[in-house]
Structure 1
């Protein structure tokens, strides 16, 4: 039997009906992916059952898709470590950013046993002190924890709630085309977690520019999952019932301070796991036939929006 967490009856049913999981074949499917990894001299990957089954589930048990996602996952993390990984989990600056609570995973999944809800506050950090790359490095490192430890996220996917309260032109100036492409490509190419929708609230003029840039870098499928509610929380409730929101938005998922404390506790508990992440990555010199993913040309050179005027 594979060494993975047992699923609740509801999650197991979803895995079978929506992700093509066959409990009788699970061991063989994981072994097939592990065998392939051992044959890839250029990939240094985690290979425990729980990690590999997350990629299989995220790819609906298509072995070829799981291979492709694993390759791109480690390619991006190796090529752009400052954006996709935490290189020093003991760094006080990293700890200070974490304690701001820019991205907070809500404890109760949507509808109690559905997608994980991630509450993101892109305007809550001082843009004159921290860069958006630093924010994303932490976000992507925490995504690695979701892959390994969050069965609801892996099986049902995630819903993102973006709250643009306090979002300013200074935050927008950090959203270069290259940064936006890095966000969109990682979500679509590398993450074995399904995007079940992004909802945006408390929007403002700075957001409008940011939204147009973000949408332009997304695939048509990603664009279809975007919803803008402005300050109309009643519209939001149609997608995320009120009780599944944080307390200050009328829900029952805890206060911001409680959510930040929970996020910090998770980070502390998983520090060793995150520290081990530096052992994994790509050695492109060993890739058969040379590099196959030229993300440098895709992302281009970071530009700037500093000449823009805001009313």
Structure 2
């Protein structure tokens, strides 16, 4: 069985936080593999490590893991605007990478008490016309890279900071209830993430209004709305080691971090091209094939946002 060894501290955290039992990991992975044999519609990325990510993100609940894997690969078929045609060298993706309009992973914290932080800034969107669907496509590419490489990200959890300063009216009109539902359901139901908090900064009122209904229960409690980014408050919860210089930190500049992750995504081009084949084939599903309306309601049933 080929899985990455954890540091002693991260292994202890996995045992206390997500119910990981080293002696049972192999058995749990084999259980999921056995279940997959009876899911002819799912073409799942091979490798024990990949399955282990889902087990960890679901705190080793076998049933939740099955549901998460089912959604992860089904959504790759049902939502092509997010999960297909992910060649990093495509012009549409290059525009997003060039201007850094994606969830930018800040450096990995030294302490396991601090979740991995991802920061999205839309300040350059006023300079270009980028579709919000392509921004989300790159965001999910970032999540896939972190899932594939960073055990801290899965086990210790994560925080998201989304700063909407710079978003244009044209882009706001693309943020329909259908779009938000696809984003929120994909994020919540498909990805094995342990998100501690999701922060929204400078968020337009119209987006905030349609956003909240899609966050319920513990997810709504974890959502934080800020009128601006206060560095003093930020320094209380995040170490300066992981913060860019623009935020009073020591991690280099935001542009340096953006360039680093742009190169990382581009250098993994073959991984993304190969990943295209891993998804559901609804013609092989036992029972009724799933359609987009089965998961997200009737496509196009929402009117676009209107402005006076």
Question: Pairwise mapping of residues 77-116 of structure 1 onto structure 2 (< 5 A)?
Answer: 77-103=76-102, 104-109=104-109, 111=111, 114-116=114-116
The count of aligned residue pairs is 304
Structure-to-structure mapping, 1:242-253, within 5 angstroms: 242-253=240-251
Alignment of 1:223-302 (within 5 A): 223-231=220-228, 232-291=230-289, 294-297=294-297, 301-302=301-302
Measured after TM superposition, the shift of residue 241 of structure 1 is 4.1
Residue number among 204, 209, 212 corresponding to 1:212 in the alignment: 209
Asked if the contact 2:125/2:166 (under 8 Å) is kept, the reply is no
User: CA 1:72–1:298 in 2, change beyond 3 Å: closer, same or farther?
Assistant: farther
CA distance in 2, matches of 1:177, 1:139: 19
> What is the alpha-carbon distance in structure 2 between the residues aligned to residue 299 and residue 67 of structure 1?
26
State whether residues 118 and 161 of structure 2, in contact with CA within 8 Å, keep that contact through their aligned partners in structure 1. Answer: yes
TM-score (norm 2): 0.91
Q: Which moved more, 1:18-27 or 1:169-178?
A: 169-178
Q: Is the 8 A contact 2:43 2:277 kept in 1?
A: yes
TM-score relative to the length of structure 1: 0.90
Q: C-alpha displacement at 1:210, in angstroms?
A: 1.4
Pairwise CA distance, 1:244 = 3.1
Please report how far the alpha carbon of residue 147 of structure 1 lies from its aligned counterpart in structure 2 after TM superposition.
1.6
Q: Which residue of 2 aligns with 1:188?
A: 188
Q: Structure 1 residues 145 and 298 mapped into 2: Cα distance closer, same or farther (>3 Å)? A: farther
5+ unaligned residues in a row in structure 1: which ranges?
A: none
SS in 2 for 1:43: coil
Distance 1:115 1:51, change over 3 A: same
RMSD: 2.1
Deviates more, 1:138-147 or 1:294-303: 294-303
Unmatched 5+ stretches in structure 2: none
Distance apart, 1:64 and its partner CA: 1.0
CA distance in 2, matches of 1:112, 1:66: 24
Post-superposition offset of 1:291: 3.4
130-139 or 118-127, which moves further after superposition?
118-127
Query: CA–CA distance in 2 between the matches of 1:298 and 1:241?
Result: 45
